[in-house]
Structure 1
């Protein structure tokens, strides 16, 4: 089945392009240039102001952080910091690399770390995701090549955040030009430097031969990268088949099947999941979802296996726990709700709704056909569902205000492989927690504030078990992405949705 708004016309155009496209050329291999395309425009390249993956992917080729996470092994590796340690539960100390050079020739020192992190920590700076920095109290210079980070609170995700999510800018240049100047002419220590840019349209990169020895990103095999914004997918596909593109992504399943005989199609799972959140507190409103048996009925009523097969495909799978199995701490030993509409009806009757129940479900950032499939299944079990499509920001606002009983959307955990970035957000007592289960909040808080991995796993497991027992969520499925590649390119996808072109090579 077709998803993401794919139409019969688009399919016809793609079929025509198959017939007309010339045989693939050598694409970028001939001149050692990886040609890539996004459908969405990358945002301005100040990492701290970027929300979308497109801009963040480009930024990670330009900038480095203190640490680096190897997604293939899960290992946190030294980057701009050659070593680090916890002095106490809320103090981290970093020994910095010497001899590191920024793209503009400036020498990297502790001043760059202190100025960058202190600047973006200030709420006036407008860092897009406050969770990335609000755990920091202050950053202190110990010596020219040693810094100390004082934490505002114990935060188990600190190391994850420091692994590329918090890049270091050159202090003197950053002080001079600010966020706007950094976005207009980015300067980092990363494996590629930006050489040309038409914002939102075209970006050209060259391998930075001054990239520091020992970088966990290594020395890139490919010399140049050109990234263009091409909104029309069919234009991307035609260029890919004609040898003018080497890399594109987010190809709908039906299109990927048609392209597979002409180009490389690589499918990979990602951190993002879809779910239906249910309001338990209600903030004064007597929603049916306050009733455990109604929530259990909702979980039994939806044929998630069929929905995954029809709409997701690829590496996607039905979820039972309120997290992604690829995340640290995502325990799978939880209550599972099999598709059973008869049991769902019986549970509704036990809850006092023998004649069924009416609910509204807002959905945002999810395809309408998937929302309709869920509503259809619920209706068969006597849960009459009114769908209300919203933009994500509007949907979240209604959810946080307690103005709806059910919210169907998705969550990417900031691309981070740790459940601290999902269950803490939705069950830790914050604005998105419409459950407010004190036992769960205590378990999550204990896990979030510890560096003891065994203790964290145990507490998250208990929290996830209760979340499932109480049917606070209807977890749906994890997402996957289809990548389209030229036959000459070697590229490995990773579940955090960050393309690591510095690891790519020509065959």
Structure 2
């Protein structure tokens, strides 16, 4: 007897099941997931057999992959707590694992954890998978999870998610495979939070992160910050499938055209985050494919509220009326973007405030505001770099609009090398490039809370801070949505961050590179591609 797929079964459901299998989910876990979707046990078993065959038949094992990102720095790190660039995320995803993982459908799956449960969204129990080992042979235990999470609370560590982790009031081992986490306030998003790149689990007592001792699919063979890394397959990986590659090399080619040319010439298999203008270069090339995803990535113009000219009343509002968003969308990004409304929660997120309209292009209003601020006619530097995707072209659009009303903007193009450490967060007017995050709470905590580590415009509001704490603990979805909508309005109207568009990410791939899928955490499968792709040579 055979079982057909339920009438409400979709291709997305197929992808979810296959993804779960690739991530090492047990048959029991998969059947529970299917029954939770209303699938009968018999039909579920048939679906699992079909999905398992698809997973087993498709990938090929072996080969060395070469991939190029767009930014690197001598500050590159294998310490997940300090990771800040895509190159950091990519390496950490290959070397370590998280307790949970977001699949392509944006749903939480278990990874190092077998379960993350709570009755009140405040006290949580994390049950670990048994038998998982680190690269050095050490067995994963609750002590590693406690050590990892407590590191984020230590100010001397400099964790990039300290403000998020600070809600963990108590972290303690119950036994070797169970950890209790008590939050200062309820937060229903904790399983999603634990899927962030920074919460990769490291071994208890780790001080030397250059070795990259994780539980992940690859081991570190070579790592030279700002230059390259070579990682080799972990033969003792705990998941039943993957990784498929024998090894992979990762480095940065900051210049977009050079990155694309390296792909076209066959020197690399993956060119990450290529400029939309490069699509024409790749079109019609028989050996090249693209993956396009819009998950909330954006390049933004940041104006610090605590420095001139941003400290002058009216300047930031004037700038918001001077940005030609449609021109940036259509000309700079070749249509590979959606119009932004100056806050970080994109249309891909269910909490996006769809009624919040962006400031209209109004050069005369901008001129009046600049004049009121006493800045009309002055020269205002704007720092841009290839490190921030399309920022130079965006700066040129602003410069041209300013010239039409007598406002002079000096676009200062600086090198990619050192941009994130020397200019981002520091220059009075500069560009950022923010990777997708799965919840408003994470975005606001990282970027707009008064003590946020990446508070790009130095926005500070006691009201916003208190609303952030209240919203994260709400179980009433209607009220929570209302609060997030109001907070998006506050950011759009009060902060000094201008988000013209939400950019579609384009990864260029050699045709023999298989297995790439979109992910809500960004391009390159949320930077976790190395574990799941294969070469069909």
TM-score (norm 2): 0.72
* Aligned match of 1:338: 360
CA distances 1:293-317 after superposition (whole Å, capped 9, x unpaired): x655433332221123222235222
1:226 correspondence with 2:248:
yes
SS of residue paired to 2:249? strand
- 1:467/1:45 CA distance change after superposition, 3 Å: closer
Paired with 2:251 and 2:459, the residues of 1 have a C-alpha distance of 41
Instruction: Output aligned runs, 1:75-474, within 5 Å.
Output: 75-86=107-118, 88-152=120-184, 158-165=190-197, 166-171=199-204, 175=205, 178-180=206-208, 182-184=209-211, 186-190=212-216, 192-194=217-219, 196-199=221-224, 200-206=227-233, 208-212=235-239, 219-220=241-242, 222-229=244-251, 231=253, 237=260, 240-262=263-285, 263-277=288-302, 289-291=312-314, 296-313=317-334, 315-323=336-344, 324-342=346-364, 344=366, 348=369, 356=376, 358=378, 360=380, 362-365=382-385, 366=388, 367-381=391-405, 383-385=407-409, 391-393=419-421, 395=423, 404=428, 407-412=429-434, 415-430=436-451, 432=455, 434=458, 436-437=460-461, 439-450=463-474, 452-468=476-492, 473-474=497-498
CA distances 1:154-194 after superposition (whole Å, capped 9, x unpaired): 556543331153122233xxx3xx332x422x23222x121
* Aligned match of 2:15: none
Per-residue deviation at 1:249?
1.6
Paired with 1:148 and 1:506, the residues of 2 have a C-alpha distance of 41
Deviates more, 1:88-97 or 1:359-368: 359-368
- 1:225/1:268 CA distance change after superposition, 3 Å: farther
* Aligned match of 2:94: 61
2:193, 2:442 within 8 Å by CA — same for their partners in 1?
A: no
Per-residue deviation at 1:196?
2.5
Paired with 1:62 and 1:353, the residues of 2 have a C-alpha distance of 51
Paired with 1:384 and 1:238, the residues of 2 have a C-alpha distance of 35
Paired with 1:467 and 1:197, the residues of 2 have a C-alpha distance of 42
CA distances 1:188-239 after superposition (whole Å, capped 9, x unpaired): 222x1216225343413215454245xxxxx226232321436486775565
* Aligned match of 2:49: none
CA distances 1:341-370 after superposition (whole Å, capped 9, x unpaired): 34545x649x85899575735435543342
Paired with 1:119 and 1:466, the residues of 2 have a C-alpha distance of 32
- 1:420/1:328 CA distance change after superposition, 3 Å: farther
* Aligned match of 2:55: none
1:488 correspondence with 2:517:
no
1:52 correspondence with 2:85:
yes
1:156, 1:451 within 8 Å by CA — same for their partners in 2?
A: yes
1:327, 1:416 within 8 Å by CA — same for their partners in 2?
A: no
CA distances 1:84-103 after superposition (whole Å, capped 9, x unpaired): 22354543211222233333
Paired with 1:238 and 1:434, the residues of 2 have a C-alpha distance of 39
Unaligned runs of 5+ in 1: 1-27, 214-218
**Matched residue count:** 453
* Aligned match of 1:35: 66
Aligned-residue Cα RMSD (Å) equals 3.7
Per-residue deviation at 1:459?
0.3
Unaligned runs of 5+ in 2: 1-58
Per-residue deviation at 1:110?
1.6
- 1:438/1:118 CA distance change after superposition, 3 Å: closer
